[in-house]
Structure formats: C-alpha cells, structure tokens
A and B are shown apart, each in its own frame.
Chain A
Amino acid sequence: MDQTDQTIARPVPPPSALSKPYWEGAAAGRLLIQRCTNCGKLRHYPRLLCDSCHSTAVAWIQASGRGAIHSWTVAHHAYHPSFASELPYTLVTVDLEEGVRALGRWRGETPAIGQKVAGRFEVRADSIDLVFTPCSA
C-alpha cells in the first residue's frame, strides 16, 4: 500500500463557535446535542437556528449514546493516508434514542440494520472518536 503512513495525523479541523461545546463534551466523554430552549426541538449536527421556530436560543443536553443501526459501510480503501493502516474499518450510522443520528466507528461483528447499540467516545492523540458497540439491552 503506497498510502500507508502511520505518522500522518487524522484530518481534524478546529471546532467552530457553533460546534465548540460538542467537542468539549466529547473530550469529557459526553455526547452533547442541541436543544432549542424556545420550542424544545432537538437538533444535530450543530446549527445556528432551530429549523422549526427559528430561535437561536439553545441548550446542550447529554444524549445516552444508545440507539439502533440505521445503516453502515465497511471502508476498504483509504481516501486519506491517516486511515490506511486501519483498513478495513466499519462505520455505522445510528438512530440515537433522542431522535437524531450520529456517525461512529463500529466494534463488533458485521452490523445489521436495526441492531441495538451503545456509543462512547475514545480520545486519541489526534482525534476523538465516537465508537459504537453491540448492546443487548
């Protein structure tokens, strides 16, 4: 593999003003999502306005990390050299029980749509990964 280079860091942009609370939560092991304090609607990824009432007023609530697999893929080709040494790896799109979705890495056998999962953050030197595992509950 000409792309293998484990010295290359993951591509991680600096947080924006909007997303800073999310990443601070992630570093502390908490999965935070926005809740509109005007109408109560939850939203993710972080947005300036509530798309229902158009308020900017927001609070960050902690999601449980539990949910069910909505879809998945297995990456067999690295499009950034930092991932080459990890191939193949599996990504899962998860319906969180709060009603929004999250993308994460998967630790487990071949996933199945609808499978119950639990998520947690893993802090690496170069990134903070949301990682999901099978959950029997």
Chain B
Amino acid sequence: MSLRDRSCISGIGETVYARGLTSSAFELQIEASLKAVADAGLKPSQIDGVIPIGIVSGTADDFIDNFGITDLRFSALVPHGGASPVMALQAAAAAIAGGVCRHVLIAFGRNVTASTSKAGARIHNMPQFHYVTEFEHPLGSSAPAQIYAPMARRHMELYGTKVEHFGEVAVACRAHAMLNGNAIMKKPITLEDHRNSRMIADPFRLLDCSLESDGGAAVIVSAPECAADAPHRRVFIAGVAAGHPDSPGAITQRADMTSLGIGKAAPRAFAMAGVTPADIDVAEIYDCFTYAVIRQIEDMGFCKKGEGGPFVAGGRLKLGGALPTNTHGGLLSQAHVWGLNHIVELTRQLRGDGGAAQVAGAELGVVTGYGDLGDGALAIMRKE
C-alpha cells in the first residue's frame, strides 16, 4: 500500500502576516485554524485529528476544549522545526490512509514580537539542538545563520556557487511578494541590493536570511471521499516523504556537510507519485536561507549536485521561468510561519486560486520543509 492519492488538502487558512501583532501565538493559531475549517466546509467539531506545529502555541487538548471535539482519534507532535509541517502531511496522510481518522488539522501560530527570545536564543530551548547549545553556542555559533554558513561556504568552494546565485533566490521571492497583498516585504530588490546588504554570517547577507514575523497558518488534510463535496476543488497528496541527514544534531560532525535529509526523501516521494522533477509546474521550497533553496533543488533532482547555482540564474525561479518557486514570496519575503504558508500557497496554485501569482496551467507541484540542522520533507501535490 502506498500513500499516493489517499489524502487531500481540503482547507487552508492564514492570518495577516506582520511584525508587531498583538495577538498571542495561540490566538493566531486558532484564527488560522478556524479559517481552514470554514474553507473546508466543516464545523470545528468535525476535526478528528490534530497535529499542532511547534512548541509555542496550542496543544491537541486545547483544540478539543475550544472546538468541542468529542472524539479526537489522532494526534501527533513532529519535533523537526521547519520540516514539521510537511512531515505532518506525511503523518496525516498515513493516519487517514489507515482509516484512523478523516480530517486532520495541521496548525501553527507564532508571535516573535511578543517573545522574549529571538532566533539566536529560541533554538537553545529545543532538545534537538543540545550539541549546538553545549559545544557551539558558547563560541558564538548561536543562530541558524552562523550554523549554516559553513555549509554554504563549502558549497561555494566545491562547486563554484556564487553570491549572485544566492541573490537570484532572494530576488525571485521578493518579486513574487510584490504580487501578494499578505506579504510583509513590499519593496522590490535587485541582485545589487542583495550583494550590498549587510553581512550577517559570511557568506550570508541580510537578504539571504528569512524574516522574523508574527502570524498563523493552518491546513486540513482529509480523506478524499470525505471532501468530495467540499467548497473547493480537492488537492491530492500524490507523494510524500521525510528524510534526516547523518549527524542530525551537529552539522560540524556531518561527513558531507552539504548533504540534507531531503536527498534521502526525494526519490521516495517522486516514486510514490509516479512523476519526475521535469513534470513539476510550481515549487514552494523552504527558504530559511537562499542557499537552502539551491541545495534542495539539487537534492530533489531538478539538477545535479553542485549545479543548483547555475540552475537558478537568469530569473529561472520567477513566474514564467523554468521552475516558478515561492510564488507567495516565501519565508524570505512573505512571512516565516515554519513553511505552513508554503503548503497553503501550493494548494492555492493547484486550485487555480493563485491570483496575480498564478502559474498558468499548474497541475502538479512540490512543497518542501527544512528543519533544525537539515531534516527534510517534501510533498508532491496534484490538481484534482
């Protein structure tokens, strides 16, 4: 038995994305969840599975209490940072295919403005970062930008990847954010702006780094036969897989520090869906850093390892390019809600509701997650 086409996205919801919101993380998570439930044509009490994302907002019990769910049949936690939402699609698809439940809510909310800890401090509360916390944070390798920078440096050295290639990713995401009314970044940027932005952790400049933002996002994964009469066209999960890099707790100790978990997962997901990268019309790729997009494009097989830089050059990630990517603006220019916004956006694209950023004729797309120190996941989704 495969998970191919055994589940679908029936509902999506997002709050306003901004910096400085006054709502709590839980309030944002609930607001997005209620929107997703309504979008699916359901009542909150019909949710019978829940996967809360992250450690800062509501628990499964909170959803039972607030939604009046009388028989929650499935819940799970996925502790892999930004890979968690797409890994949660896998968990939901498996639970639904196994007949455990019918409608799984995957929901996230965050308010970093209200939080006392920004990115550099937040990760050290997470147990999966304990090696970094003990052996690297005291030396000043504290935040993802600093921890990932050596991977990017080595990729540049081994394969000739250039600053301009990183810039291409930033510029494409920003161009798409310009088309999105719910994107935080409002001003266009050029490759020159990228190169001139201040250095954060060499080779990462400010415009290589994703946003710190407030907001909530949610999706509902349903059994296809239970969503046939839903208000929107169903978007099927055709293939989904997760993978973890070697030495997942310390990039320093990883034999090939340019390797990622998605490299193990991608062949499984494409085989499950019965398609190849050449069949993909639109991609929503987890963009914590520009470099991470280039590396995931390679690991998914859109090009060979080391060729990701030239692959993205010349605006090929923009609408109309070879692989339209992050059509909502991504974590780099829309908002950082751990990539749940990427799942929402791919669903919109495959419903044909992409608005000004709609990829014409989009029938098949891929969404990726990237978490912690290189955990990865991807889902290949198709239009009904």
Contact = CB atoms under 8 A, between A and B. Distances in A.
A89 B157 CA distance: 20
Most chain A CB atoms below 10 A, which of B133, B140, B250: B140
A89 B140 CA distance: 8
Contact of B145 (A11, A72, A77): A77
B146 A80 contact: no
A33 B284 CA distance: 42
A63 interface: no
A12 B140 contact: no
Contact of B201 (A19, A75, A127): A75
B154 A70 contact: yes
Interface in B36-92: none
A30 B166 CA distance: 40
Interface in A57-93: 70-80, 83, 86, 89, 91, 93
Contact of B121 (A19, A75, A80, A101): A80
B199 A76 contact: yes
A100 B142 contact: no
A71 B141 contact: no
Contacts of A101: 252-253
Interface residues of B, number: 36
A91 B146 contact: yes
A72 B121 contact: no
A127 B142 CA distance: 15
B118 interface: yes
A74 B202 contact: yes
A122 to B, nearest CB: 11
B255 to A, nearest CB: 9
Given A101-B253, A103-B136, A45 B131 contact: yes
A13 B153 contact: no
A104 B136 CA distance: 8
23 contacts: A10-B138, A13-B133, A44-B253, A45-B131, A45-B253, A71-B151, A71-B153, A72-B153, A73-B150, A73-B153, A73-B203, A75-B201, A79-B143, A80-B140, A91-B140, A100-B253, A103-B136, A103-B139, A104-B139, A113-B153, A113-B154, A127-B138, A127-B139
Interface of A: 10-13, 15-16, 19, 44-45, 70-80, 83, 86, 89, 91, 93, 100-105, 113, 127, 129-130
Given A13-B134, A101-B252, 18 more contacts: A11-B124, A11-B138, A13-B133, A13-B138, A19-B134, A45-B135, A71-B150, A73-B141, A73-B202, A75-B141, A75-B201, A76-B201, A79-B142, A79-B146, A86-B140, A103-B141, A113-B153, A130-B139
Interface of B: 118-121, 124, 131, 133-143, 145-146, 149-151, 153-154, 157, 198-203, 249-250, 252-253, 257
| The 4 nearest A-B residue pairs measured at CB | A79-B120, A71-B150, A73-B149, A79-B143
